[in-house]
Amino acid sequence: MKPIFKIRRAMLARIHADLSRRHAFAAERVGFISCRVAALPGNELAVLAHDYHPVHDDHYEDDPSVGAMLNAAAFREALQYSYRNRAAMFHVHRHEHHGRPRFSRVDVSEARKFVPDFWKVQRALPHGVLVLSHDQMHGLCWLPASRATTPFERYMIVGFPTTSIAEVQGGQGYQ
C-alpha cells in the first residue's frame, strides 16, 4: 500500500502559524491532524487532512531533554477525537530549517510508542506522524491491515499553488 498525503494549503499555513507560537517552556510546539482516508487505484491510499488540532499549552510537560513532551491528557484528547469522529490521526511537528526534514531517532522511537495506540480506537484506519520544515514535509504512515510503517509516497498541497511532491525528489519545496 502506497500512502499519499493531501492537505489544503490554507490548513498547512494554519499549522505553521500555530507551530510558530512560543510556548512558556517547551522548545517546540506539536499538534494533531485529523484525516479521512480513501483507497486509490494502483494500491494507493489517500490520507486527506481535514482539520488541525493544536495541543493546549497545559498539555506539555516540562522536559528539557526533548523539544516537546506531551502529557497523557494531550493524547487522551487526540484519541477521543479519533474515536468520536472516525478520524485517522497524524501527529505533526516542525524542524526549524528549509529543505527536506527527517525524523530524529527520538521522534521515531516516541512515535512507535504512541501511534499504534490510535488503533485501539480506530483499528481500521492508518495513523502516523509528520514532520515539517519551513518548505517541505516528511511523514510515516502506520497501515492498519499489514501493521507496517511506511513513508508517504507523495505530498499534495491543494490551493494556490497546487503542488505534488514525491518523497524521493527531496530538493523541491512546496512554497
Partner 1 sequence: MVRDTSRQSFLGISSDQILADARVGIVGLCGGGSHVAQQLAHIGIGKFVLCDPDIVENSNLNRMVGACRQDVEDRRSKVDVIAQRVLAINPAATIRKAAGTWQSSANELRQCLAVFGCVDSFQERAQLETMCRRFLIPYFDIGMDVTKSRGGFTISGQVILSMPGFPCMRCMGFITDEILASEAQRYGAVGGKPQVVWPNGVLASTAVGLFISTILPWQYRVETPLYLEYDGNAFRVFPSNRLKIVAGTECRHFSNKDDLGDPFFGRPEFSTTAKA
Chain residues in the site for partner 1 (CB under 8 A): 1, 3, 6-11, 34-42, 44-46, 48, 50-51, 85-87, 122, 124-126, 143-146, 156, 158-164, 166, 172
Total residue count of the chain as it appears in this document:
175
**Could you tell me which residues come within 8 angstroms of residue 98 by beta carbon, excluding any fewer than 6 positions away?**
133, 134, 135, 136, 173
Minimum CB separation of residue 64 from partner 1 in Å reads: 37
**Residues 32, 36, 42, CA angle at the centre, nearest 5°?**
120
Specify whether the CB–CB gap between 87 and 50 falls below 8 A.
Answer: yes
Minimum CB separation of residue 92 from partner 1 in Å reads: 17
Burial of 76 (C-beta count, 10 Å sphere; 0-12/13-18/19+): exposed
Nearer to partner 1 by Cβ, of 50 and 134: the residue is 50
Minimum CB separation of residue 114 from partner 1 in Å reads: 19
Name residue, grid cell 512554497.
Answer: 175
Nearer to partner 1 by Cβ, of 82 and 133: the residue is 82
Minimum CB separation of residue 86 from partner 1 in Å reads: 8
